[in-house]
Structure 1
Amino acid sequence: MLDLLKGVRVVELTTIVLGPMAGQMLGDFGAEVVKVEAPNGDLARYVDPRSKAGASSMFANNNRNKKSIALDLKTEEGRAILLKLVDGADVFLHNMRLQAVERLGFGPAALRARNPKLVYCSAIGFGSDGPYAARPAYDDVIQAASGIARLPTYTGNDPSYVPGVIADKIAALYAANAISAALVGRERTGTGCEIEVPMFEVMTSFVMTEHMAAASFDEAAPAGYQRLLNRHRRPFPTSDGWIAVLPYTERHWRKTFEELGRADVVAQPWFGDATDRSRHVGEMYEVLGQEMPKRSTGDWIATFERLDVPHSRVSGLDDLLNDPHLQAVGFFEPTDDLESRVRSVPQPVRFRTSPSGPDRRAPELGEDGPALLTELGYGADAIRELEDRGVLGRGTRQQTEDV
């Protein structure tokens, strides 16, 4: 944990991945992040695999450096406690549907009227000004809506999802970045602001940055960056595995084809011009695909290392756990004392000259509730009464929803 955002309090009313990952990034940078959960807890707590103590890997890897308070927000007392937390907060982050957050009384107008310095961030599915605003949104839905799932069809395959929660995680990066910028802006102006991070628009931006292509200049032109959509652009099979290789400059391509004994390609009249060469990139990829199976992956790695041509072994998930570079930088070392935890996914950005300390493990459900209420002025008897009545939750309860 760093101390770059020390003194900033974030009240996070989020679940699953998008909001929790954004909040964790702020916590990694030193903010005090108070995660507000329902009495049953964030659904991600119950996703397998879990440790012997019942802790979920998904929850642990998206909720370090946070405190947890479990509140029944269907009760007047629970809502009152959340409002008191927000009164002393710098940031409010939620990923609820806008209608739901407004029904609870936690919309941006209401909270910023109480706390004008508040940075209010809604991490939602679709922008509030459009016709899709009320739709439920999950990662697969956003991958489909934003074009991600359709991209494989341009290379002759069926639509497919990226096998990861890519839309949630990319939107989380945008949210954390926007919140950080808003905090800097508040230092200059003295007032907070309202931020909306819609997954659909975020992922459309993510997809179309390169794929606008000719459509950037001609309304009648089709979208699509052809180098990326070429069916020959893919990891290539070797004699014993797979390799990725990307000759990018003329020098890269020339050295590669000379190594392959394919002077015929270098001799083509289009080879020496970058624009013409880009029009023939599919042909060059096809040549690579013909040649790669003739040697082993290790041989090609040594060859491309010698030629200084961009390349990589095609790693599997288990390969990453044993990757020599990641081992050398201590990437998967545990960052908390969670029972049975032998590896964790860390904050990958390194601030070389900023002081840092140990991370705080992902919290147990509601473990910080009594301490937070004490800060807000509640006495011990009042806290016990709230616990007895179920307004203040503590400990993991049985989860009955599908996860």
Structure 2
Amino acid sequence: MTFEPLKGIRILDLTSVVVGPVCTARLAQYGAEIIKLESPDGDLMRGLGGLSPTGQHSGAYLHLNRGKRNLCCDLKKPGSKDLVKKLVASADVVIANMRPQALVRLRLDAQSIRADHPDKIYCLITGYGTDGPYAGHPTYDSVVQAATGMTGLTLARDGAPSYVPMLICDHVVGEIAAGSILAAVIQRKATGSGSSIEVPMFETMSAFVLQEHLAQQSFDPPVGPPGDLRLLSPHNKPVKTADGWIAFTVNTDQQVRAFLKAVGRAELIDDQRFATVGARAQNVREWFEIRGAPLTDKTTVEWLDILQEADIAVKPCHTLETLPHDPHLQAVGLLQADEHPTEGKTVAIRSTISFDDAYPALPSFAQPRGWDTRAVLEEIGYSAHEISGLLAEGTAIASSTRAEDQ
């Protein structure tokens, strides 16, 4: 299926690693033309995201950079200024996640670009808002997890802070940035005006934490301590079975009664401490101790059958090894075979969003550095002679693995 509501929108992608590429990958799925401007050193994620057959494209890089055209340019070279100026002029949207100070030096900040092109949409994804004292501080996902109190949640629950072992802040903020750009595109179509957007990771993820865990301190005066005590219970974890682990949640009174009957604790159904949502909130520690008790008298499969029969939300706890083989994911074809020009056979992840009962076509492979350098330079007005000069002086770099670039 072809689903391209952003067809005709060109985006200059000045991002790297994860948060920016997540944003532009989503926009590529919606049909935008993404021009990824990459330095000669390459996006750090090419190597940081794990091993690969050639050492040039980690698995994470392949997944985060599908559907993008790659132009390699050395911004330290004098000739790059004119090149980037023409790229900016050709784009509808510019997205960056460099430090604000570096963007100002390169005249690639929102103020510089929109002074010349007020109709441009400019999105800066930054670690900390530029109007606060942390502005310009370096950061990564794990630092944001700590600064926003996410690690403090595991400290409160488990007695020690820990990171979510995936780049959760990068993914969430990248998707939010993509949504903000979509809103700006709609506004520009209505008014003709561009926008300057800033999406700070620290404030964005802090808001998520506080929406849930400001809790009783959302009132003036507070009616209790901060924190959702259900989520902070040390028993709020997957439950051990005879041969593995399962995860389930029971929230409604009907679900609780069905659960207590299923696990052989029917005597607690009439216990007033657990009879209603309000009562369980008042007795959350005792309730979660019951709810989180091991279920080691039966296997995972047996418990899945029992709890599903009781209409309780339950699933097995997958591992990285078992998740790709989940029968549901296999049935819906989330993972698909693909071919990469340098890495050979690869596994691709299709869009999880369907439109009109169909999934958009798989975007093209993540390109080697400089794969589309020649073509993009030609499109923005450089002659063949000028392109040869830019390549010779090292301002632009073309892929050494593409036949027409050799």
Q: Note if contact 2:239-2:294 (Cα within 8 Å) is conserved in structure 1.
A: no
Q: Indicate whether 1:89 and 2:65 are aligned.
A: no
* 3-state SS, counterpart of residue 170 of structure 1: helix
Q: 1:177 matched to which residue of 2?
A: 179
Contact 2:230–2:288 at 8 Å: present in 1 too?
no
Q: Give the partner amino acid of 1:317.
A: L
Q: Give the match's secondary structure for 1:194.
A: strand
Compared CA separation, residues 344 and 357, structure 1 to 2 (3 A): closer
- Are the counterparts in 2 of residues 10 and 92 from structure 1 also a CA contact under 8 Å? yes
76, 99, 108: which one pairs with 1:74? 76
Cα distance in 2 for partners of 1:170, 1:312 equals 24
Q: For residue 290 of structure 1, give the secondary structure of its aligned residue in structure 2.
A: coil
Query: What does residue 313 of structure 2 align with?
Result: 310
1:288 to 286, 291, 302: 291
Alignment of 1:2-401 (within 5 A): 2-47=3-48, 48-52=50-54, 54-218=56-220, 220=222, 221-290=224-293, 292-335=295-338, 337-338=340-341, 339-352=343-356, 356-395=360-399
Q: CA deviation at 1:348?
A: 1.5
Contact 1:3–1:355 (CA<8 Å) still a contact in 2? no
CA contact (8 A) 1:52 1:340 kept: no
The residue type equivalent to 1:252 in the other structure is Q
Shifted more, 81-90 versus 282-291: the winner is 282-291
- Partners in 2 of 1:367 and 1:57 — Cα distance? 18
CA contact (8 A) 2:12 2:95 kept: yes
CA deviation profile, 1:24-73 (whole Å, cap 9, x unmatched): 11011100000001122211112321124732212111100010111111
Paired residue secondary structure (1:154): helix
1:105 is paired with a residue of what secondary structure? Answer: coil
**d(CA) in 1 for partners of 2:47, 2:184:** 33
Paired residue secondary structure (1:122): strand
1:350 match: secondary structure = coil
User: Aligned-pair distance for 1:283?
Assistant: 2.1
Verify the 8 A CA contact 1:44 1:58 in the aligned structure 2: yes
Residue deviations 1:219-264, cap 9 Å, x none?
5543211111111111011111001111111001001112223233
Q: Quick one: distance in 1 between partners of 2:201 and 2:126?
A: 6
Q: More deviation in 19-28 or 112-121? A: 112-121
* CA-to-aligned-CA distance 1:172-192 (integer Å, 9 cap, x gap): 011101111111111111101
SS of residue in 1 equivalent to 2:124: strand
C-alpha distance in 2 between matches for 1:114 and 1:334: 45
The separation in 2 between residues aligned to 1:192 and 1:336, in whole angstroms, is 38
The alpha carbon displacement at 1:154 in A equals 1.3
- Cα 1:396–1:199 shift into 2, 3 Å: farther
Q: CA deviation at 1:20?
A: 0.9
- Shift of residue 122, structure 1, vs aligned partner: 0.2
Q: With the length of structure 2 as denominator, give the TM-score of the two structures.
A: 0.93
**CA pair 300-250 structure 1, distance change in 2 beyond 3 A:** same
Following superposition, the deviation at residue 289 of structure 1 comes to 3.4
Distance 2:235 2:400 in 1: 50
In structure 1, list runs of 5 or more residues that go unmatched: 398-403
Residue range with higher mean Cα deviation, 149-158 or 324-333: 149-158
| Unaligned segments of structure 2, at least 5 residues | 402-406
Q: Take 2:282 and 2:339, find their aligned partners in 1: how far apart are those partners?
A: 51
Deviation at 1:77, TM superposition (A): 1.7
Distance 2:272 2:65 in 1: 56
* Contact preservation (8 Å) 1:335, 1:359: no
Separation of aligned partners in 2, 1:100 and 1:92:
15
Structure 2 contact 16–97 (Cα < 8 Å) conserved: yes
When structure 1 is superposed on structure 2, of 235-244 and 256-265 the one drifting more is 256-265
Change (3 A) 1:129 1:336: farther
* Alpha-carbon distance between aligned partners in 2 of 1:154 and 1:310, rounded to the nearest angstrom: 26
**Contact 2:213 2:226 (C-alpha < 8 Å) held by counterparts:** yes
Change (3 A) 1:88 1:342: closer
Rounded to whole Å, the distance in 2 between the matches of 1:285 and 1:211 is 18
What RMSD over aligned residues (CA atoms) do the two structures have, in Å? 1.8
Asked whether the equivalents of residues 274 and 287 of structure 2 are also in contact (C-alpha less than 8 Å), the reply is no
Stretch deviating more after TM superposition (369-378 or 11-20): 369-378
- Alignment coverage as a number of residue pairs: 397
Residue 53 to residue 226, structure 1, CA distance change in 2 (3 Å):
closer
Between 331-340 and 136-145, report the one with greater CA deviation: 331-340
Query: Using the alignment, how far apart are the partners of 1:330 and 1:379 within structure 2?
Result: 44
Distance 1:143 1:291, change over 3 A: closer
Single out whichever of 273-282 and 228-237 deviates more from structure 2: 273-282
Residue 401 of structure 1 is matched in structure 2 by: none
State the alpha-carbon separation in 2 of the partners of residues 374 and 155 from structure 1: 57
Q: Give how far 1:395 is off.
A: 3.4
Q: Shift of residue 171 of structure 1?
A: 0.8
